[in-house]
Copies of this chain bind each other. A is one copy, B any other.
Amino acid sequence: MADNLYSEFKEHSVAEFFKKNRQMLGFSSKIRSLTTAVHEYITNSLDACEEHGILPEVFVEIEQLGEDHYKVTVEDNGPGLPKKLVGKAFGQMLAGTKFHRYIQQRGQQGIGATGATLYSQVTTGKPVKVRTSMGNGKIYECTLVVDTKQNAPKIESEHEFNGAYRGTRVEAEFKDVNYNKSEYGAFEYIRRTAMANPHAKITFIDPLKEKIVFDRVSDKIPERPRAVLPHPLGVATDDLITMARITQARKLSSFLQQEFSRVSSAKIDELRQLVPTIDMGKNPHALQWEEAEAITKAFKTMRWIAPEMTALRPIGAGYVEKSLQNVVKPEFVAVIERPPKVFRGGVPFLMEAAIVYGGAAGKPAEEGRKAEILRFANRAPLLFDAGGCALHNVVKNVDWNRYGVKDFENQPISVFLHMVSVHIPYTSAGKQAVADEDEILKEAHFAVMEVARHLQRHLSGVRRKGESERKRKEFDKYIPFTAAAIAKLTGKEPMTMEDLSKLASKEGKVLEEKLAKIVNERFHEVIEETDEEELESNGGNGESEKVESGGGEDA
C-alpha cells in the first residue's frame, strides 16, 4: 500500500508551484490580478532606473480587448537588458540580480515579472513580448513563455535590429482580469506609485484611452541605493556561519571587521573580553556553531552605532508633504521620519510616516469620508492583504481616542506609513503585507504615535479655537446691551430692552467698539478648554458681566 503511495513521489519546479498557487503571487481576483501585473512591471522599471541613476520615465497603457481581457504595456527609459538575460528576467523564477543583494529595492525576489508571464500564458495561451536595448544602437525583441516543468524561459520568436532606443518595453495580454478605479485597481496603484516616487514621471493611458500624466515634482536624481554590510545587532548564528564559510578573510577578527558594519578593532577587543575562549585568530572557515552562537549572543550585549543610514533612501519629509498636499489639499499635514533601526539578522530599516487631516483626506464613504491607510514598502504601494499587514494593524490598533480622534474609522484622515529597508519581510510572494516582526511593529507604532501627537496638538488647537470663537460670538451678542447699560449707568434714565437695543446701535457705539476690542483681545490670549455643558450653561445668562470683569482684569 505504502509502495503505491510512494511511487507517486515526484519533484516539482518552483514555477509549477506558483502556477498552481498563483494566488500567492497576487493573481487571485480579476481586479487584483491586473493590478499585480502592472505592479510587477512598474517596480522593475523603477528599480532599474534608480540603480542606474536615471530619472525614470515610465509609460503604462492598459487596453481592453474583450470582456475580462486586457493588454498591459509598460515601457521605461531604463538601462535595458542584455539579450541573454531577457529570458531569465521574464521567464524564470528565482533568477535575477535582486535576490541576494543587501540593498533597498522594490523587487527582491526574482519572481514577479515571471509570475506575470505565467499568468498571461495560462489565461490567454499567448507569450509576452519584450523589446529592450541598452542604448548601443541595437534593439532586441522576443516573445517568450515559461516552461513550468523546468522553470526555464522558452523563447518563441526573436529578432534584433538597429535603432536608437534605450530601455525595456513589455507587452502582455491577460484574461480573467479587470480594471477599475477602486482602491484596489491599477489606476490607484499608479497614483500611489507617483505619490511615493516624486522623481518619476509616469504616463498612463487607461482603457478609455484617457491619458493621465503624473509628472515628476523633483528633478533630483535620487542617490543610488547602496548595498550594505549587515549590522552585528540581531545577526543570526546561521547567517554568521554561512558568511564565515565563504569569506576571503584568513582570521576570524578580520572576517568580522570586513563583513559586518560598525565592527572596529576596538569592538573586536571588546568581543574578546566577552568570549575569551574563542581564538580571534582562527580561520573563519573552521568556525563552529557554538562559537558562532556565542559571538552573536555577545554582539547583542555590546553597544553599537546605529546601522548605516546611507543604505536607506526614504522619500523625504518635504516630498511626502508635497505629494499629500497635492493630492488631498488637507487642513493639516504632519510628516516624520524615524531613525534607522535593525530587525532580524541585522537588517536596517526605517519608518517614514505622515498624517493628513481634513479636506479630501481619507477615502470617500456613503456619507462624508472614512479613514484611509496608505502603506508603502521601499516606495512601492501596498494595496492588498491589509488585514495581515503589520503596518496596517499598527495603525488600526492605535487608541485614537487618546489623540483626540473619536471614531477614527469615520474621520477624514489618511495615515501614510512607509517602511524602507534592504529587505522587506513580506508575508507572501505577492508582496502586499509586511510580517509581524517585533522591531518593525515597534517602530511602526512609534512612527504612528508621533504623527498622531502632531494631529492631536492641531486638533486641540482647532477645538480650543472653535470654543473660544463660540464664546466670543456669544459675548458679541451681549456687547451692544452691555455697552448701552454702561452708557446708562454713566448718566441716563432706565430704559426698556427695546430702547436699550435702539440705543445700542447709536449712543452705545463707542463703548461697544471698546468692549468688542477688549473681548477680541482677551479671546486671542486666554485659550482654555471649556466643556460643552459649561459653555451652554453660560450661554444664556450673565455673559455681559463676565465680559466686563474680564475686560477689567485685562485693562
Contacts and interface: CB of A to CB of B under 8 A. Distances in A.
A317 interface: no
A82 B2 contact: yes
11 contacts: A2-B52, A6-B81, A8-B100, A12-B99, A24-B429, A28-B435, A29-B438, A122-B237, A385-B387, A387-B388, A429-B429
A392 B386 CA distance: 14
* Residue in A96, A97, A290, A428 with the greatest tally of chain B CB atoms within 10 Å: A428
A88 interface: yes
A403 interface: no
A415 to B, nearest CB: 17
A289 interface: yes
Nearest to A441: B29
Interface stretch (A13-21, A328-336, A360-368): A13-21
A470 interface: no
Closest 10 CB pairs of A and B: A387-B387, A125-B289, A388-B388, A428-B428, A122-B238, A23-B435, A2-B79, A12-B94, A14-B14, A11-B95
A3 to B, nearest CB: 7
A238 B24 contact: no
Contact of A5 (B79, B92, B122): B79
A359 interface: no
A386 B385 contact: no
A125 B9 contact: no
Nearest to A288: B125
A437 interface: yes
Given A11-B94, A393-B387, A52 B5 contact: yes
A427 B430 CA distance: 9
Contact of A28 (B3, B88, B387, B436): B436
Contacts of A392: 387
A17 B109 contact: yes
- This protein's copies in its complex: 2
B238 A121 contact: yes
Contacts of A123: 236-238
A99 B11 CA distance: 9
Interface string A51-94: 11000000000000000000000000001111001001000101
A100 B10 CA distance: 9
A381 interface: no
Interface of A: 1-3, 5-6, 8-14, 16-17, 20-21, 23-24, 28-29, 51-52, 79-82, 85, 88, 92, 94-97, 99-101, 109-111, 121-126, 134, 236-238, 241, 289-290, 292-293, 385-389, 392-393, 423, 425-430, 433, 435-438
A82 B430 CA distance: 36
Contacts of A1: 52, 79
B52 A101 contact: no
A541 to B, nearest CB: 36
Given A11-B94, A21-B426, A125-B289, 18 more contacts: A5-B79, A6-B85, A9-B95, A9-B96, A10-B96, A12-B100, A12-B110, A13-B94, A16-B94, A23-B425, A28-B436, A125-B241, A125-B290, A125-B292, A125-B293, A385-B388, A387-B392, A387-B393
Contacts of A109: 17, 21
Contacts of A16: 94, 99
Nearest to A432: B388
A2 B237 CA distance: 35
Nearest to A97: B8
Given A79-B2, A99-B17, A125-B241, A427 B24 contact: yes
Contacts of A14: 14, 17, 94
Contact of A134 (B2, B88, B121): B2
A366 to B, nearest CB: 15
Given A24-B428, A52-B2, A85 B13 contact: no
Contacts of A236: 122-123
A95 B425 contact: no
Contacts of A92: 11
A101 B12 CA distance: 12
A101 B8 contact: yes
A95 B169 CA distance: 36
A437 B28 contact: yes
A339 to B, nearest CB: 24
A12 B389 CA distance: 27
Given A2-B134, A123-B237, A9 B427 contact: no
A5 B125 contact: no
A344 to B, nearest CB: 9
A146 B29 CA distance: 35
Nearest to A126: B289
